[in-house]
A and B are shown apart, each in its own frame.
Chain A
């Protein structure tokens, strides 16, 4: 799995600490992600996996350590975080589509306003993406008319419209009815096959096993174990991971 990767490191977290009040949410997290690598983060709730993910595009501000994205220190005030975020797409558990905009407007808003695309260019790009996530026939409806799975696929299209180099997924299927999980995972698998760099927090172990180049297990704000999915799932070494896998499978 690792042999098809080139060695360029696109995300680098070094000695990252984050506190919520006095409670440490991240404790000395170190993580490197190479271009085109698919990393899946698993762990019990409250383990800091979402916090770790959200700190990569600075939705959470870390208290200590450094995070480099494409070689740029995201906490450095001289680097424009908004420009860094152009290249880092994010998909949320709760979809967070803009309810006052149609599906098409959701996808075209950022390219028009931020990348200065014309409306035609942005809509052409949007229709391409909506077709890719299989929802182009719903372009002109409002998000409230869509099912959860459809909304999440629109959210993926919205993030892709900025043509990011990295995609972050924060439990993208956790808020979905079981029968809708598959349609979202299929979109993510297709994206992975195209070579998108992905970091994904999920409870979908099947997805982790088939798609991930590397699985990270976190608990209590620490990375306890990391490795290729087959190795990690079949021969877990850390007792906490053994316990976790026994209880979710």
Chain B
């Protein structure tokens, strides 16, 4: 028994997409990769805008509408992708063979198709049957895609909880759902939340793809700015720095959350 439990708890999260690296919450040095990156990004952004307000400041002021749209798409997609991921993760460890197969097939198919192709498929290919707005198809495609990725995170997080926890809960008289709700999920959250946060950051970056469907996100705003001014270098420099600042701040938020979730595991040492 002891051996299998160790094996199970050792089986930890496997990352399935590249996201921003989440800062180690136990890293308290003032100088680290995260703080250097953020300082560099912010100072270059400010320096550029102060030294050459024309065109850098003009570019920066042109972006806020796009930032709002990027966040809208990201938040909407998170609202759908997390439940999809949860259901998929539960499905993948279901004892019902049929449910397990459906969930696994979904993950297998979606992971094998590039997000850009999925976006085009929903926006252009399916437009033969029904017309959906750019934002709606963006949210649909990203949710379906990231739901599959997050399904893996949920599956691994739940599977990492030792079997003894389920047995202790069931032996008290809790049914399967109560065991999941009171015992397994609260513990799994700790391992699930950081990679889910990571997926959300990766998702925010991937929303740049929707600019191709003329959705006015950060990237699309940049493209339209370039279209009238031909300032490729200046515009895309600002865009890169803006994305960098956003993702760095978000990954810090995730790491703070991660540290808070570790409240019960401090040894008495």
Contact = CB atoms under 8 A, between A and B. Distances in A.
B267 interface: yes
A110 B5 contact: no
Interface string B238-269: 00000000000000000000000000111110
Given A109-B182, A175-B2, A162 B173 contact: yes
Contacts of B168: 90, 92, 96-98, 155
B105 interface: no
B136 interface: no
B268 A145 contact: yes
B45 to A, nearest CB: 41
Nearest to A111: B172
B2 A90 contact: no
A203 interface: no
Nearest to B167: A59
A153 interface: no
A145 to B, nearest CB: 4
Given A96-B165, A144-B266, A145-B267, A90 B171 contact: yes
Interface in A125-146: 142, 144-146
B167 A92 contact: yes
Interface residues of B, number: 26
B87 interface: no
A100 B174 contact: no
Nearest to B186: A100
Interface in A143-170: 144-146, 155, 158-159, 162
B173 A96 contact: no
A82 B2 contact: no
Interface in B153-181: 162, 164-165, 167-175, 178
A94 B164 contact: yes
Nearest to B5: A94
Contacts of B122: none
B1 to A, nearest CB: 6
B260 to A, nearest CB: 13
Nearest to B161: A99
Contacts of B186: 100
B187 interface: yes
B170 A144 contact: no
Choose among A96, A142, A155, A175 the residue with the greatest number of B CB atoms under 10 Å from its CB: A96
B183 interface: yes
B114 to A, nearest CB: 39
B134 to A, nearest CB: 43
Contacts of B5: 94
A194 B162 CA distance: 33
A110 B266 contact: no
A101 B182 CA distance: 10
Contacts of B187: 98-100
B161 to A, nearest CB: 10
Contacts of A89: 171-172
A96 B170 CA distance: 12
Nearest to B264: A142
A89 B173 CA distance: 9
B171 A86 contact: no
Contact of A85 (B1, B170, B182, B266): B170
B171 A88 contact: yes
Nearest to A57: B171
B171 A85 contact: yes
Interface string B38-53: 0000000000000000
Nearest to B269: A145
A66 B263 CA distance: 45
A94 B2 contact: yes
Contact of B178 (A113, A158, A162): A113
Choose among B1, B162, B165, B173 the residue with the greatest number of A CB atoms under 10 Å from its CB: B173
Given A59-B167, A96-B167, A142-B264, A110 B1 contact: no
Interface in B87-128: none
Contacts of B169: 98
Contacts of B175: 82
B173 A100 contact: no
A93 B1 CA distance: 9
A144 B173 contact: no
A154 B172 CA distance: 14
Given A57-B171, A82-B174, A155-B168, 20 more contacts: A50-B1, A59-B170, A83-B173, A86-B173, A89-B172, A94-B5, A94-B164, A96-B167, A98-B169, A98-B183, A99-B265, A100-B186, A100-B264, A113-B178, A142-B266, A144-B267, A145-B267, A159-B171, A162-B172, A175-B2
10 contacts: A57-B171, A88-B171, A92-B164, A94-B162, A96-B168, A98-B168, A142-B266, A145-B268, A146-B268, A159-B171
